[in-house]
Structure 1
Amino acid sequence: MDNQIEIENYRIQKSEEWAGNIDDQELINRIQDSDFARQQNNDGKDFCYFLDKKYHTSNTQNSEYVCMAYTLNEPANLERASVSDIVVEENEVYHIHRISVLRDGVLIDKIPDTKIKVLDSENHSSGGILSSNKKINITIKDLRLYDILILEDSRVKPFTERDFLRKEFSKYVWVSPDNYWAYGSYKFTFINERNEKIAFKKTFFRDESGNVLEPEVHYLDKGEQFVFEETNYINPVDANREIFPFIDFATDKNWKELSDYIAPIYQEIFNTASLKDFAPNLIEKLESLPDLDEKIQFAIEYVQNNIYYIFNADEMNGHKPQEPAVTYENKQGDCKAKSVLLKVILDYIGVEASIVLVNFHTDFYMKYYLPSLLTFNHAIVKISYKGEDYFVDATTRDEFGTLENRGFIYFMHYLEVKPDQELQERKPYRYPYFCVDEKIDFQVQDTIGKLTLTTTYKGNRANAMRRYFKNTNRREVIDSWNNFLFYSLNYSGDRNGTDIRNIFKDATIDIVSDDKKQNEFKIQYQAIIENPYYVDPKNNRFLMYFDRNLVKASARDYMHKDLPFWHNFDSEKYEINLYTDQKIDTEEKYTVQESMINNPYFDFKSRKKVSKHGATAYIEYSPLVNLEIPKDEFEKFRTDHHTVADSNFGLGIDIIEPGLMNMLKFNFKKKFK
């Protein structure tokens, strides 16, 4: 390999001056039993006597130091301590300062009992994701239950020429510790040795009553430090319903200053060469297409499917975007490179496009974070066309459709790579089509039922279902549908334990059509069902079809105090036809029940048509998505979803059994309902 650089990944040495030095006797003095420590031991928990964590940043490197002492009273913690892995980035060095145990009051140096191996980090090392990370495997011999393990180490990341953003800007997020651990002493220190002022923002800290405090913003000049310190400390956060308190540290800049910094870097890349110079064959294909819609589709799918996605896991923002000519020639590039090439192609055909920076994983936190380019970990393309904005991820594969029919990407915050920009929020979105449009026909004659499902998927659903059918064995696909129908037809209520393949006889599933321009994928499932009626314990017979996909359990069960509910459901449409040669109860409450819900965040409509031998239900669900439901509106949102779940997500019909006595029983039941 050209320009291969051998680096040292770990060292055993004393800590740096900024981290401080602690001698053996001071360590022993800090490891003292207390009522607080004894209480944790009595509760069966491990206990951390002290944890000192320091983060040091300068214009030449970032460093993180930790010194801690904790008990090994639990076998699981003993196992984790005996063998551990440390992953270091490219050019990052792991420094081991001390590995010791305090055993029966005696401090024992365990570095001679430590074996260290440096391995390639295999995490995310396939599928176009390149990583020069190294994994440092540390094995410590002869650790024993009830030892107190003492670790002192640091990680040092010197900046190379590629790390121009890290040289220019600092970004670090401290998150309060796991609330399993109890700490006799917990101390975190942030040290600013950069020439620039660093801002820090405390968020989701709480008062004594558990109420979230207003965020606080403070500043650190060069040479200043921030200290967070607690004694006898257990993080009080309710991990299942609250966000852990965190502090965001970032170089003091606003979004306009940051966009003015990054925009010229991209503009320089755009200006390197024209499409005519490096891609004449591509232009020839573009020119042969009859209209602009098809040219846009071709451009997107060319970059998505013909340019191999290579993601440098060390640093998304660590270097300038690759020139589009290089990306086209090599047929590979990271998200920035692929996005830049797509924009250059769209520029050529006269379609307005720009690069935008996003972070799908931390999208919710963007409004709380301080402005920083290092917050983003991905680049996509924003296309403005016919009065609408569309967002396209150039790294995705096997997506189809003209622009308005392509899949929708869920996220809210982005920074457009143009001068003088603020962090932007996308508008909420309502699908102009139904992502799922399904017709269910269940016709029963004598004791045989014929079931047919015809389903059209569109947008994201079409892309996903197309991939599913391509990559999955057809028998497995049929079993999946059989299993779903086993519950939808309520057979789980009267024939549990029966082999599903023996219930759904001669089941088939076929692709009816695949329109890659409209991005519509249509399938049909068919099966024969002997004994098609659900029979309750009193031998009453029913035909039922309830699609639990309409019951949004995540909305009904949501309980988080801090995170607003993120609304990202698909639009759905169903026509359910249940017909039999038997008479049915045409006035049964749930058979005729209809509903109409007009919530600000979704519309739901269920309409019925009932005859003496069956019924049809027409159901439409149309949500307003890509938004957070405000807390003061969530309970109404939840209640309306409970209404959907109250027998409005399908159709059931009651069979009137033949015979005089059964008719009399039915009339009696009807009279005294």
Structure 2
Amino acid sequence: MENIIESENYKIQKPEKWASEINDDELIQYIKESDFSNKQIEEGRDFCYFLDKVFYTSDNENSEYACVAYTLNEPSNLESASVRDVVVEENETYIIHRISVLRDGVFIDKIADTKIKVLDSENQSEGGVLSSNKKINITIKDLRLYDILITEDSRIKVFTDRDFMRREFFKYVYVTPSTYWAYGNYKFRFINDRKDPIAYKKTFFRDEEGNVIQPEISYLKKGEKFVIEKEDYINSFDINREIAPYIDFATDSNWTDLSNYISPFYEEIFSKSSLKEFAPKLAEKLDAISDKDEQLQYAIDYVQNHVYYIFNADEMNGHKPQEPSITYENKQGDCKAKSVLLKVVLDYINIDSSVILVNYNSDHYIKHYLPSLLTFNHVIVKINYKNETYFIDATARDEFGLIENRGFIYFLHYLEVKPNQQLQIKKPYRFSYYGINEKVDLNAQNNTGELKLTTTYKGNRANFMRKYFKNTNKREIIDSWNNFLFYALNYSNDRNGTDIRTIFKNAAIEILNDDKKLNEFTIQYSASIQNPYFTDVQKNRFLMYFDRNVVKNNARDFMHADIPFWHNFDNEKYEINLHTDQKIDTEEKYTIQESTINNPYFDFTSRKKVTKNGASVFIEFKPLVNLEIPTEDFEKFRTDHHTIADSNYGLGIDIIEQGIMNMLKYNFKKRFK
């Protein structure tokens, strides 16, 4: 082995007593061909002869053990096995027990062919991510196709004083294995060596008919084990439409007790924090703002933009927030620190607020999980103002507007950091404004079209578009709009392959208005188009504009057995005006077609105004958002979105060509349609 000197981050030694003890002869006995293994290999898949996993937890450590033997018949698996990285946290040690191969029936120890490097796992420091994690790079020389690789290792995380939360509470989610692998022998053991009982809940397991089994909660006392053991095993859930079965292990508790545990840490901070003492200049600035709306806006803007966000992974393992005086003085802090500072500022200006715990990434699962503070990974602020509830992420940047105009945060579950709390559900929401309000004018004269789009973005959309225009090259922005219009005007079906820049002449885009208080961002696009009409194969001409953004294909195409559809669309309003110097068919079915949809989860209307030389459509889409669509309501929800997609997301007008034959063709079509 090239690294003779062991690092404090890794060791080479025998497994702990709580793990398995397997000698080489026993390993060879496990690695036996069978009808089951031969079938998998014949199908072109690698095969895992055995996998033995153990998770051990005590009041002083969390540790994992694994011993696995699998084929290297696929080049991609050979490549990933030859070089891999293991990331360990502060005070966590990676322990190698065995690296071997079985090659042509001969057992070969590969420890001597293994090179280990310890690197800093610090690749996001410029983004404010601080971590003392280490990356252990493991390279095994001379692995060959058709080897059987055997690895045995452990990870032992010993708790420090900073890990007081992990010492007090436990959480671990065991996820059943990948559907790719087939296992000759599979074993998982969970060992509780803590003083407190651990609850476990099996979730999304299925019966033989594929129906989800109702979860049941069981308990493990100190010294007890939970065991799963299977032979000739393939995990058979539908990866595209089902959640992988998992088991949630957590210290037996309830939300009330957990909120009572966490709230004193914050209450202590709030009770001894006086903004006037540690931030007199900020207090003075706030006092000088007489308008309450603007005073609140300034408070949020200050914490979001003047205090640098640092995600300290080690600090996030606990829940003791940094004192706001330190956050203010250093002008930096993690989500807890920034949220606490914001609440102290809000307390000073007499705005009712509280700190809450969330997890955006696992939000859907929180209702299935057992109660645990370790479920949450982020802290934000809840504000009650003028009989409305708002949620502000103090770590956000490039946010603007009075509080009712700021970006909306989508999530469902949260725990308020106050005594005697239960898990709360964020209510469904209807926007009071349009996230996008767009007017389209296309005027075709003498076979030249003058196109103008005027668009106002608000809320989340304004924040995003403002950032997009700031950080993106102007030519790239124009190309993006040109590409969108290429499809909206249906040119993709009669001039596909044409350089889009040659279609949209003199294309330009400019910012008309940027209102930071209303959080409105208005732009205007303009271009000239030679031959603005779409021409079909029969040489019929049409002036068309269909905005595919109105069609919510993710709602129409959604298919999942376990996850409800998450509804998070914006209010949208469109006015599309098409005008030509040609005569048009004023009674064409799709030109005059209108629609009204009143779904419990959204309202949609399209109204038309038709003249002899043009038409207009007025479209409004108003959803009820921040909720999961119940399964029993989803098919009606999907069908109504299909209705929108049935030519109700834009406008098309048919040109009546000059000449007697064209008029006869038009009258014939009109009579028999």
TM-score, length-normalised on structure 2? 0.98
What SS does the aligned partner of 1:126 have?
Answer: helix
1:259-338 alignment runs, 5 A limit: 259-314=259-314, 316-338=316-338
- Contact kept, 8 Å, 2:262 with 2:319, in 1: the verdict is no
- Contact kept, 8 Å, 1:347 with 1:353, in 2: the verdict is yes
- Tell me the CA shift for residue 7 of structure 1: 7.4
- Tell me the CA shift for residue 125 of structure 1: 3.8
1:278-427 alignment runs, 5 A limit: 278-314=278-314, 316-427=316-427
- Contact kept, 8 Å, 1:124 with 1:131, in 2: the verdict is no
- Tell me the CA shift for residue 272 of structure 1: 3.0
Is the alpha carbon distance of 1:584 and 1:511 closer, same or farther for their aligned partners in structure 2, counting shifts above 3 Å? same
Query: Which whole-Å CA distance do the structure 1 matches of 2:418 and 2:455 have between them?
Result: 43
Query: Which whole-Å CA distance do the structure 2 matches of 1:547 and 1:353 have between them?
Result: 41
The residue that corresponds to 1:213 in the other structure is 213
- Counterpart residue type for residue 21 of structure 2: N
Is 1:652 equivalent to 2:652 in the alignment?
Answer: yes
- Tell me the CA shift for residue 319 of structure 1: 4.7
Output one character per residue of 1:19-57: Cα deviation in whole Å (capped at 9) or x when no partner.
Answer: 131111111111111111111111111111110100000
Query: Which whole-Å CA distance do the structure 1 matches of 2:290 and 2:268 have between them?
Result: 32
What SS does the aligned partner of 2:399 have?
Answer: coil
- Contact kept, 8 Å, 1:187 with 1:230, in 2: the verdict is yes
- Counterpart residue type for residue 218 of structure 1: S
Is 1:593 equivalent to 2:593 in the alignment?
Answer: yes
- Counterpart residue type for residue 100 of structure 2: S
- Tell me the CA shift for residue 126 of structure 1: 3.1
What SS does the aligned partner of 2:466 have?
Answer: helix
- Counterpart residue type for residue 472 of structure 1: T
- Tell me the CA shift for residue 660 of structure 1: 2.1
- Tell me the CA shift for residue 394 of structure 1: 0.5
The residue that corresponds to 1:524 in the other structure is 524
Identity of aligned residues (%): 72
Moved more, 58-67 or 283-292: 283-292
The residue that corresponds to 1:579 in the other structure is 579
- Contact kept, 8 Å, 2:67 with 2:152, in 1: the verdict is yes
Query: Which whole-Å CA distance do the structure 1 matches of 2:58 and 2:278 have between them?
Result: 41
- Contact kept, 8 Å, 1:199 with 1:251, in 2: the verdict is yes
1:442-521 alignment runs, 5 A limit: 442-521=442-521
- Counterpart residue type for residue 228 of structure 1: I
- Contact kept, 8 Å, 1:306 with 1:331, in 2: the verdict is yes
The residue that corresponds to 1:239 in the other structure is 239
Is 1:638 equivalent to 2:638 in the alignment?
Answer: yes
Output one character per residue of 1:454-498: Cα deviation in whole Å (capped at 9) or x when no partner.
Answer: 000000000000000000011111110010000000011111111
Output one character per residue of 1:588-632: Cα deviation in whole Å (capped at 9) or x when no partner.
Answer: 000000000000000000000000000000000000011001111
- Contact kept, 8 Å, 1:272 with 1:323, in 2: the verdict is no
- Counterpart residue type for residue 120 of structure 2: D
- Contact kept, 8 Å, 2:273 with 2:344, in 1: the verdict is no
The residue that corresponds to 1:3 in the other structure is none
Output one character per residue of 1:148-193: Cα deviation in whole Å (capped at 9) or x when no partner.
Answer: 1110000000000100100100000000000000001111111000
- Contact kept, 8 Å, 1:7 with 1:91, in 2: the verdict is no
Query: Which whole-Å CA distance do the structure 1 matches of 2:566 and 2:7 have between them?
Result: 44
Query: Which whole-Å CA distance do the structure 1 matches of 2:384 and 2:548 have between them?
Result: 37
Query: Which whole-Å CA distance do the structure 2 matches of 1:298 and 1:664 have between them?
Result: 68
The residue that corresponds to 2:543 in the other structure is 543
- Tell me the CA shift for residue 131 of structure 1: 1.6
Query: Which whole-Å CA distance do the structure 1 matches of 2:210 and 2:147 have between them?
Result: 36
- Contact kept, 8 Å, 2:608 with 2:616, in 1: the verdict is yes
- Counterpart residue type for residue 43 of structure 1: E
- Contact kept, 8 Å, 2:305 with 2:397, in 1: the verdict is yes
The residue that corresponds to 1:24 in the other structure is 24
The residue that corresponds to 1:97 in the other structure is 97
The residue that corresponds to 2:3 in the other structure is none
- Tell me the CA shift for residue 661 of structure 1: 2.1
What SS does the aligned partner of 2:73 have?
Answer: coil
The residue that corresponds to 1:555 in the other structure is 555
What SS does the aligned partner of 2:78 have?
Answer: helix
Q: What root-mean-square deviation, in Å, do the aligned CA atoms of Structure 1 and Structure 2 show?
A: 1.0
Output one character per residue of 1:538-592: Cα deviation in whole Å (capped at 9) or x when no partner.
Answer: 1111100000001111000011111100111111000000001111000000000
- Counterpart residue type for residue 141 of structure 1: K
Aligned residues: 668
Query: Which whole-Å CA distance do the structure 2 matches of 1:464 and 1:627 have between them?
Result: 22
Query: Which whole-Å CA distance do the structure 2 matches of 1:122 and 1:665 have between them?
Result: 72
- Tell me the CA shift for residue 123 of structure 1: 4.5
- Contact kept, 8 Å, 1:317 with 1:377, in 2: the verdict is no
1:52-71 alignment runs, 5 A limit: 52-71=52-71
- Counterpart residue type for residue 127 of structure 1: G
- Tell me the CA shift for residue 664 of structure 1: 1.7
Query: Which whole-Å CA distance do the structure 1 matches of 2:122 and 2:617 have between them?
Result: 52
- Contact kept, 8 Å, 1:162 with 1:319, in 2: the verdict is no
Q: Which runs of 5+ in 1 are unaligned?
A: 1-5
The residue that corresponds to 1:229 in the other structure is 229
The residue that corresponds to 2:109 in the other structure is 109
- Contact kept, 8 Å, 2:131 with 2:312, in 1: the verdict is yes
Output one character per residue of 1:291-325: Cα deviation in whole Å (capped at 9) or x when no partner.
Answer: 11111111111111111000013452425110000
What SS does the aligned partner of 2:606 have?
Answer: strand
- Counterpart residue type for residue 214 of structure 1: Q
The residue that corresponds to 1:434 in the other structure is 434
- Tell me the CA shift for residue 132 of structure 1: 1.3
- Counterpart residue type for residue 175 of structure 1: V
Query: Which whole-Å CA distance do the structure 1 matches of 2:13 and 2:260 have between them?
Result: 42
- Counterpart residue type for residue 429 of structure 1: Y
- Tell me the CA shift for residue 103 of structure 1: 1.2
Query: Which whole-Å CA distance do the structure 2 matches of 1:185 and 1:385 have between them?
Result: 59
Q: Which runs of 5+ in 2 are unaligned?
A: 1-5
- Contact kept, 8 Å, 1:70 with 1:150, in 2: the verdict is yes
- Tell me the CA shift for residue 226 of structure 1: 0.4
- Contact kept, 8 Å, 2:573 with 2:621, in 1: the verdict is yes
Moved more, 316-325 or 557-566: 316-325
What SS does the aligned partner of 1:40 have?
Answer: helix
What SS does the aligned partner of 2:624 have?
Answer: strand
- Contact kept, 8 Å, 1:170 with 1:251, in 2: the verdict is yes
- Counterpart residue type for residue 585 of structure 2: D
- Contact kept, 8 Å, 1:173 with 1:247, in 2: the verdict is yes
